[in-house]
Structure 1
């Protein structure tokens, strides 16, 4: 599923700039939710087949830490360093604009909250439900924070990392839920969907409440667990290569052509996409799991996602809006290849050695 994950990351990049020669493929939020389903599938896979036996939960948590945090911290450090350099030499602030403009007005509690969220990742999703009081500079709860004059998330060095905060919450519960069979998964999915329904009935803003609220987002990770159970059944059936190819290419074609399909973005169309994803992913994984080049491409997906905002704000200085999407996609791809080759690969080898040593 490496190609699929890279494609979804590129969709997010395009949605954060502008259409790439008229193409947006899917909405960024749909791409993120498919990412969540894929993540839930992989967590179910490795927790049931890789992280087993005594000490497996501790190994799972520490290896997840090594997978996410070093790359994230490096990107944040580069974002801060590049922003300071651009500010000093070019009078252009990149991601530090709110800090350089309003830091003197912030309450000390707000500064500590921003530093903690930027460092620990946890809590970044919460900042999308707060804004800054103009009078005191303190964080206040804001049901419609996306329309606030000073949203709190402006102070995130890599604002797209709010998804990691949601994902980390899922990691905390995954070892205790994902191994218990389908029934607990279905019950928790129903509870999460009930939260989404309550938000809709209460007429709360779609963004952030139905896009970033962790209890409402957990259903997508848990759907990935359902994917895993479907995969186990498919694996015993050993479907023919022609069927695997037909499902894989049909699903990819659906995502490529999503923007041209009948109907505007709507709840039925979105949820039809998620259901189709749950049904297709087991076939896609079964088809691609032994393809080496696909796995290698998949290693780029996380660097692509976590670094793309830094690349976009840099490219915005040098390129016109017309060329910004293409420059951002190419620049992020090049940057991600370098990160993977010289930074992530040694960490990944160490992670795998830890698993082998434990086995």
Structure 2
């Protein structure tokens, strides 16, 4: 399979939605769960996981998985995530420590965040805004070689997918209570196994496209994509933020998230159009924006606003949308091209003394 730009566009759109969700939360207040931003603030990350599963399946479903190949895979994934995460830590951690005398960070927490292993051992120990999802991704990467190596064995692959679904149902209907606020159950919600089904569903989209003969036109896919997106944004429900992530609402919104990525995967786009170029730009820097926006926000919130004596939430939000966001995008573009991409090229091109099979490296 060739690179699918449509799902990159989805990734970029979700990064911007989560950015706006946080900017609103930090200024005028947490968006209502019934609102567009309130829903995307929760399920935008879920869509990230689905996109990640699709992307990795496309890239690796023909690879041969020797021990050396697995090491190479982990190295590539680690150095895709680590540089921007480390930069965010270098900004956010000193700001926190300098402005909160009661806040301390243990040596184990430093180690977990530098190594990105907190998702495996203590998912709640992330130090960066949105860092919990990166811990989850690392856990998914550990599971991925096992699942993808079974992709050619249909029933084994299906059993593993079904297992992730049953774990997902356990969290949705049993482990997370609809009677308590999401904030009080946050550490349960961010458990990697509560999120795993989104990642495996992305893999299933890739498997389905590669193994099942069906005909779905770009126009049909576009129409269904719009329907899924509209339902995700307007479907009525009760229960506040916890109502978004528990019981049958959880199942419905999950189906819609997976549907968005599934149909986006089948949309053929004009990569030269202006809107596609913008979405590709956002897709390229989506991870960088996602992981760095909280760190740069903390700088402005602590060191800029007190100097000017500005307390208006609306003025702050306007600044963050029209001033901060374009500047952040520019900084992230530089970091992506000058730091992240060179690191990825070095790791990709390094001679690992391994063989990937007929599909190449």
TM-score (norm 1): 0.73
Compute the displacement of 1:53 (Å): 5.2
Structure 2 Cα separation of the partners of residues 334 and 40 of structure 1 = 28
Q: 1:125 to 1:179 in 2, by over 3 A?
A: closer
Compute the displacement of 1:351 (Å): 4.8
Tell me which moved more, 305-314 or 342-351. 342-351
- In the other structure, the counterpart of 1:226 is 204
Compute the displacement of 1:63 (Å): 0.8
The 5 A counterparts of 1:252-263 are 252-254=229-231, 258=233, 260-263=234-237
Greater length-normalized contact order (CA 8 Å, ≥ 6 residues apart): 2
- In the other structure, the counterpart of 2:164 is 188
Paired residue total? 311
* 2:234 is aligned with 1:240: no
Answer whether contact 1:9 1:301 (CA < 8 A) is retained: yes
Structure 2 Cα separation of the partners of residues 274 and 188 of structure 1 = 13
Compute the displacement of 1:203 (Å): 6.6
Compute the displacement of 1:2 (Å): 2.0
Superposition RMSD on alpha carbons, in Å?
3.4
Unaligned runs of 5+ in 1: 84-93, 130-151
- In the other structure, the counterpart of 1:91 is none
* 2:11 is aligned with 1:5: yes
Structure 2 Cα separation of the partners of residues 335 and 120 of structure 1 = 24
Structure 2 Cα separation of the partners of residues 250 and 354 of structure 1 = 44
Q: 1:261 to 1:173 in 2, by over 3 A?
A: closer
- In the other structure, the counterpart of 2:64 is 52
* 2:313 is aligned with 1:321: yes
Compute the displacement of 1:101 (Å): 0.3
Structure 2 Cα separation of the partners of residues 24 and 202 of structure 1 = 21
Compute the displacement of 1:288 (Å): 5.1
The 5 A counterparts of 1:95-174 are 95-97=96-98, 100-102=100-102, 111-123=106-118, 156=127, 158-174=128-144
Compute the displacement of 1:253 (Å): 4.6
Compute the displacement of 1:309 (Å): 0.4
- In the other structure, the counterpart of 1:88 is none
Q: 1:227 to 1:95 in 2, by over 3 A?
A: farther
- Which of the residues 55, 76, 84 maps onto 1:71? 84
Structure 2 Cα separation of the partners of residues 198 and 304 of structure 1 = 34
Compute the displacement of 1:69 (Å): 1.0
Unaligned runs of 5+ in 2: 1-6, 151-156, 306-311
Structure 2 Cα separation of the partners of residues 248 and 291 of structure 1 = 18
Structure 1 Cα separation of the partners of residues 211 and 257 of structure 2 = 16
Compute the displacement of 1:128 (Å): 6.3
Compute the displacement of 1:239 (Å): 2.5
Structure 1 Cα separation of the partners of residues 230 and 117 of structure 2 = 35
- Which of the residues 251, 254, 266 maps onto 1:274? 254
For residues 267-313 of structure 1, what are the alpha-carbon distances to aligned partners after superposition, in whole Å with 9 as ceiling and x for unaligned? Answer: 43443121022233233123258847454431111101110101222
| SS of residue paired to 1:102 | coil
Q: 1:62 to 1:125 in 2, by over 3 A?
A: closer
Compute the displacement of 1:75 (Å): 2.5
Q: 1:127 to 1:237 in 2, by over 3 A?
A: closer
Q: 1:328 to 1:61 in 2, by over 3 A?
A: same
TM-score (norm 2): 0.73
